[in-house]
Structure 1
Amino acid sequence: MKKLREKIKQNQFVTTIEIEPPKSGSSDSEIARIQKLAKLIDGVNIPDNPMANMRMSPISLGSIIQSKLDLEVIFHFACRDRNILSIQSELLGANALGVKNILTLTGDKPDIGDHKDATGVFDIDSIGLTQVVSKLNNGFDFSGNKLEEKTDFFIGGVVNPCSDDLEKELDKFHQKIERGVNFFQTQPVFDIEKLEKFTKKVEHIDIPILYGLMPLKSVKFANYLNKNVPGIDIPQNLIDRLEKGGKQETLNILKETYSNIKGMSKGIHIFPMKDYDLTLELLQG
């Protein structure tokens, strides 16, 4: 198995998918879903209590997936749930398990999730977390104490190419690179004109970016994303097409967006929205 980081570093086109970890003590359901896509993808992203909803540990699930499917994972790691001691402890454990591709995140506030009284820790943010992981990779903990053995993480960061405040987003993008980010993944992209503007701004930077792709399953879903998810902007013409074309237009838009993104990137990160059959149809086409 060729390592995901090697493919990304060598500018080979890669495809990853994001799954929703189970609210369960068993990983069997997710293993079964991923298995039929395993030969068509290069990696699996595993969120960390996404939208502040309690789910199985992404590190544990990642270790199971790598062991059972011989397929690398990118585990998300949020600052929301852990203080600086716990952050480092879990990262040392992840490294020991061989789960070494990490996506550094600040994390959503607990009050939007299913445990609204949970305490948000936020000792650091995603930029600070990137710095912590870089220190561990260099053999030192957050306080500067030497580790017995350094870690070997491949560090990912998040960037939003369609942000309403692109200059602010680019500033955070550069800060993350300075702290040690090796690659980026993005939120779902729907507005190709905004994506083109972003890619021109970063074309001189030799950091691989995997752009997000998500199926628009209905007009209602598209309107929900526009209203409730910051940084996602779905053009009205796509919503109009969905209204007229229904399910078939969902696939048409997905294929068109996939083709457009593929033409200007080194990788795609797919959000299947639990529709693994649609993802399979896209990748086999």
Structure 2
Amino acid sequence: MRKESNVVVLLRETLNQRKFVRSFEFVPGKHLGIGDMEKVAEKVSGLVDVVTVPENPLGNPGIDPILSLYALSEKMDFIGIPHLTPRDKNSLHLKSQGMSALKLGIRNFFVVYGDPIAQGQNSKEVRELDVVGTIKTLKESRLEFNGTSGSIEMNVGAAANPQRENEIQNIIRKQEAGADFFITQAIFDAESMKVQWIKERQHKIVAGFIPLKKKPQIDIMKRMGIRFSETVEKRLDNSDDIQNESSRIILEIFDDIKESISGIHIMPMGRTDLAKTILESV
């Protein structure tokens, strides 16, 4: 039996052991081979502590996040965090996923509600559990995998939306279920991260950012409930190069709020080069 590599050992490191994290979301391509993973590893290796992979993003079938992170771990050192959603599975399958990840050395998870299933997929949502139930069930999978010894840690994260007025109640419910850390939705308004509960929190909260590629994305995100400050929206509307302008805005917001957060999470929507530019500057 071969010895565990340093990479696999590193995968077992928990997010909460890092004081400040630099995180990056990667969506594997739907094609043979792992060439896309190798290219990502070349671009961001050494720049990130954490790589997350979404599960069936936008309600379309995708490459399994747990297997993707395990394959990517052969190319770079990072903490792998698969997204898991109750949309597509019951509690039995969820426990199986949790134990499979632990078996491969992945012990950090990010629970999300999940996008609606895309039109044309002819599929139905499962949703036996909500997000709170999913967090609890993942924690239970550790006990079933590990017996009662408690020697293997598991960290489960959840989404946070500081722009929602009653968000503190959602945070409390998720924490009571076992959530260990939070990653925010995309931030385009620094003031939304300066609310009292963030200042007084007892958990890690990582600020999420999406570098924009096209101006129509602004309206799409606003319909999703993402708030843009008046100044930021005006700058984006007047820009002839929205990709670079949005990257500059992200860095400015990050600089404004960095003392209040535990890390930065870039969701580049396929543009690894944009993520690299931002991460090189933080």
Give per-residue Cα distances to partners, 1:57-79, cap 9 Å, x unaligned: 00110111123323221100111
Residue 107 of structure 1 deviates from its aligned partner by 1.9
Spell out, residue by residue over 1:83-107, the C-alpha distance to the aligned partner (whole angstroms, 9 max, x if none).
Answer: 1221112221111111211011232
State the identity %: 27
Structure-2 residue corresponding to 1:104 = 111
Match of 1:170 among 168, 171, 188: 168
Scaled by the length of structure 1, what TM-score is found?
0.86
1:239 is matched with: 233
Indicate conservation of the 8 Å contact 2:13/2:79, yes or no: no
Matched, 1:123 2:128: yes
Gaps of 5+ in 1: none
Give the conservation status (yes or no) of the 8 Å contact 2:23–2:48: yes
Partners of 2:234 and 2:44 lie apart in 1 by 31
Contact 2:11 2:105 in 1 (8 A): no
Partner residue in 2 for 1:219: 215
Q: Secondary structure at the match of 2:73?
A: helix
1:281 Cα shift? 2.0
Give distance in 1, aligned partners of 2:187 and 2:246: 15
Q: Give the unaligned 5+ runs of structure 2.
A: 1-5
- Specify whether residues 264 and 205 from structure 1 end up closer, same or farther in structure 2 by C-alpha distance, changes over 3 A only: closer
* Aligned equivalent of 2:179: 181
Q: Distance in 2 between matches of 1:182 and 1:155?
A: 6
* Deviation (angstroms), 1:136: 2.5
Say whether the 8 Å CA contact 1:48–1:55 is kept in structure 2: yes
Q: Which residue of 2 aligns with 1:134?
A: 139
Counterpart for residue 58 of structure 1? 65
Partner of 1:259: 255
Q: TM-score, normalised by structure 2?
A: 0.87
**Deviation for aligned residue 1:114:** 5.4
- Say if 2:190 is the partner of 1:196: no
Residue 52 of structure 1 and its aligned partner are, at CA, apart by: 0.7
Selected match of 2:39 from 32, 35, 41: 32
What's the CA shift for 1:55?
Answer: 0.7
Distance 1:196 1:3, change over 3 A: farther
Instruction: Say if 2:41 and 2:75, in contact at 8 Å, map to a contact too.
Output: no
Runs of 4+ in 1 over 3 A off after TM superposition: 1-8, 146-152
In 1, distance between residues paired with 2:34 and 2:130?
Answer: 29
Say which SS state the counterpart of residue 184 (structure 1) adopts.
strand
Q: What SS class does the counterpart of residue 226 from structure 1 fall into? A: helix
RMSD: 2.4
Residue identity opposite 2:262 in structure 1: K
| 1:111-147 Cα deviation digits (max 9, x unpaired) | xx1553112111101100111122233x248xxxx95
Per mean C-alpha deviation after superposition, the further-off stretch among 86-95 and 236-245 is 236-245
